[in-house]
Structure 1
Amino acid sequence: MTISLRGLLGQSDLHLEVVVAGHPESVDAPISWVHSTELADPTPYLEGGELILLTGLAMKGNEADEDQRQYARRLVKAGVRGIGFGVGVRHREIPAWLIEQCERYGLPLFAVPAPTPFIAITKAVSRKLTDERQRGFTRSYHDQRQLMRSVHTLYPVSSIVSKLAEIVGGWAALINPAGTVIESSHRFLPVEISALGDALTFSVLGEAKFMNVKGYDVAVFHVASPAGDTLGYLVAGRKGSTGSLNHTPVAAAVSLLSLAISRSTDANRVLSRLRASMVRRCLEGRANSVRPYAHDLWDGMPAEPLCAMRLVGDMNALEAAQRLVEPFRKSLVKNLNPVVFGMVEDDLWVIVSQSNATEWVNQLSRDSGVVLGVSSGSTWYDMARARHEAYQAAAEAKTTGAASMQYGQGSGAGALENMLEPSLLRAFADLKLAPLRNVVFNLSTGPHANREAGDGADTLSVGAIDVLRAWIEARGTMEEAARKLEIHRHTMSKYMTRIARLLAVDLQDPGTVAELWFACRYARPDEA
């Protein structure tokens, strides 16, 4: 801590006596230096933060002359911390007019007894400032060493940003040239990046801007490559007023990031390609050939049973999702089993232990720009099936607008129809049921149980497509279909024989029945 007037007055060996307490802000503010002067107006020679020592050689009696009437006001305006008046040299007591001025303007005033030389006060402040400067150098050296160690980690950019936040006692974030956060020390930043406004517009290479946003002292540094290209912006903040944030480690982090980003970009590109190749092998059921490299790529492999996940979305959303599963970052993965992941054909594929699948689905589906498909339980050997399931589930989720979809929990056959264009389904139904389009069975003839004619002739007829639909819904049971249509089962059997002949199909073939079910489901209203 720097020395303040309160701390100086507390040193008993100096025997200083408070005459005017002054404002607490002045008493607790740091002293920059001690200056001895007898000038009536020393302000042209001050920078602010000084402690003034004087004996009053130019002061006559208890009346201030013309130059001394605004003495205390000028010192307060110049940022002086206080006045130390040496008694017993020129004056036995501090002049009353000086006491009255200090009380009026809140300027601290204390008496320095004759046995206490001014040099003792100067040395006390100088020792404190020297000690503080030394501690500052030591702290700065320690901070830079910590940042340097971050460069040698697997993910230097992420490590530098996290370590910087720890050093400044706040938060830090790296923003790409487009203004998107790509690395941050905290998942949720206390300051909206959009609130920084013009601070992200730099005209000078290596420029820095400072501001106070929502009670945070914020610094924005331009990060440029050695060649002068803009790599992004480093934003750091700490709760407090302007000046609370230590800018020295932020500037050091900028220099390290300018080198680390260029280097890590190439390394990450190679690592991403390796992960893509290896995760493709896993999805093909060849996990044994991948296992020797799993620790370096993903920090290990998840335990069986497994779930495969397919993530679909724009590249920014997929990159954000991939950062969640990075094994060497501070994320949810630290508390879960390892995760195998990689980009395959513009989709992010993730393989997790089934016991952790629900937690990962909740985390990965938070981004509205990502659609997630999840397979059922699987083994490494059977991963090809899981891949197919995750692919189908993601396709259905994308079609229905769901954030995520578990394979087998969709709408049954609807999961298949959601993957086809409605126009194609309608065309299929038209072609399949074309021979039955104008076929109507007359119910006024034949043995029909408990059926009476109504006012219209339509009540005594039924379309062939309705007959076929009733038979399919009854799972091919003649008695149940006949009961639904309120006709005799022999009549139902006769109608179905004719329908089979018109369609030229075998109604005992399950595939044929499935096709007819889809056709009846999507038959146009005027045909039904």
Structure 2
Amino acid sequence: MVGVPLAWLMHRQDLRLTLLAGRGGLERDVVWAHSIELADPAPWLTGGELVLTTGLRLPSDTGACTDYVTRLTKAGVAALGFGVGLSHEQVPEALVGAAEEAGLPLVEVPLPTPFVAVTKVVMERLAQQQYEGVVQASRIQPRMTRAALRGGAQAVVRELAVSTRTSVVFLDHDSRVRAAHPPHGAASGATVLAGLGSAEQTSAAVSSSQDGVTAVHQVRVGPRVHGRLVVAAERALTPVDHLLLGHAASLVALEAEKPLRLRDEQNRVNGLFLRLLLDGTVGASLARDHLTEAGFPVRDGIRVLALRGGSPRQCLQALGDELAERGLPLFGRVHAACAAVLLPAGHAATAQTAMDGARARLRSSTWAGLSAVHDLTDGPAALTEALNAASVAQARGGQAVVPFESLAGQLLAATPQTRKILATLAETQLAPLAAHDTAHGTHLLPTLRAFLEHHGQWEAASTALGVHRHTLRSRIERVRVLLGADLDSAHVRAELLLASSAWQEPGGSDRTG
């Protein structure tokens, strides 16, 4: 906090002040001059004041004076000013002795000097210091800006440290030292945050200890945090110090944003190109040239990764950060409330690791599907596969990326929309068989499924069921009668096979085993 040095106040000849005790405290700063005549003024004090009194309610005995000084000392006052000529012709000797014993500066204010004159001098000096601080900051800020243009974050950190006579460290979002001045301050900068756990969640924090003061300021632009600036000093930091710290944090943030803004613009252009690719409106040759120039490997083809859940745009941003760390550009767009991202064919494993990292950044539930490998001309097909696989991933509720290739023979039953249709079909077509099995202890339903899964081949189906083929024929004939279905028709058999794949017991288990 800015204050007026008591020594400076004592040198004001127009006030004619006399120091009677506590000479060792002349370097104390007075933050306010407060006239108060209470016997116990401590509850109304915050520390750093020059308390002015005529001793109106102060007894002259030693015990009372000692108690009065003790209360002022505990309140943290800077000094005591005693006006003589009214309640007391001179400052009580007991008060002088108590002040000297406590180390509290005691100043005699003569009768011709009104208390308001002392208060006015302090107020004017405080205002002057604030103006000087603003002028000082206005001279330093352009230097810091020029330093940012010339030397980036390191130059800004150096200028801040030199201008404030402090040690400054810039830590990135992983608490790694990116710049420091003086250089030896980097070692302590990484550990000084131990006592400032809240600094990571707040924009600024200050901590005091016996070793000095530490201030932390976030380096951020909007929601994007680039790190923190840490200032360490052996003294209390002034408002000018905090003003310059904030300015330096803004300059470092702008420096860190430069490549990200360029990347954001490139991602926007890439997203427009991906829209054309997935719509099938861009030729393979042009697509290959554009992807190659962007640093996207296309030799073995492409895949599409689709994400469901959360904000699609936030998903794209998180995936973009993950891919950038792996040296891959982001080609992404929002489609049907999903985030669609282009991946090289040989980076199937990247899909899972990138998704894990993106989920950690998003802190929300997301599900992902990965298309099969396609040529550049098959963008629409790749997008459809990825979206279908993502729907299956959401239905399963797991964290693993679902590859479209793994869904062979499962996609219709796994997708919620089609499964609902199949469940209705199953209930309509297979309910008569289930009812007959329950009533007569037969096994017509599993027999039909085995027959269908073995493409109507009697030998293979009877072997799978462990029954004679004549038994199988007898059961299938019974099925024909109950369902009224032509099992010689391939279309009928296909429909019944799909229905059996979705047939569920009332409790939720698969009735077909």
TM-score by length of structure 2 reads 0.46
Looking at secondary structure, tell me which structure has more helix per residue. 2
